[in-house]
Amino acid sequence: MVKVSVTDLSGETRDIDAETGLSLMENIRNNDFDDLAAICGGCCSCCTCHVYVDADWAGKMPEMEDDEQYLLEDSPHFKEGSSRLSCQLEVDDSFDGLKVTIAPES
């Protein structure tokens, strides 16, 4: 388990114990964050698991695939350098201390 700090849409921040091997989306949903709809269930076909990665972490994340990039760029809430789909981020030990904020839904 690694610690991840998640801020919801109301601005409340909670630290969660994230399970390695699961996506960040699954970990956020498993910890009762209702703000993350994740409608497609992790198939990278919607933008409802959009999060903003803290600036200190943005360069430490795995490279973004084209499908994720295209979906995010179409979102009115896209932020260059911090927007990611949490379904595309598999949690491993390197995520310990990660800080993310759930983005508003499009």
First to last CA, the chain: 31
Kindly list the strands in the beta sheet with 50-53, ordered across the sheet, starting from the edge strand earlier in the chain.
13-18, 2-7, 98-102, 50-53, 83-85
CATH code, domain carrying 53: 3.10.20.30
Residue 106: what pLDDT? Answer: 64
Q: How many other C-beta atoms can be found within 10 angstroms of the C-beta atom of residue 26?
A: 20
**pLDDT tens readout for residues 19-50:** 999 999 999 999 999 999 998 888 898 999 99
Name the domain count of the chain.
1
Residue with tokens 């109301």: 10
Residue 26: what pLDDT? Answer: 97
Q: What is the pTM of this model?
A: 0.94
Where in the sequence is the domain holding 47, given as residue range(s)?
Answer: 2-102
Which range is least confidently modeled, 3-7, 33-37, 81-85, 102-106? 102-106
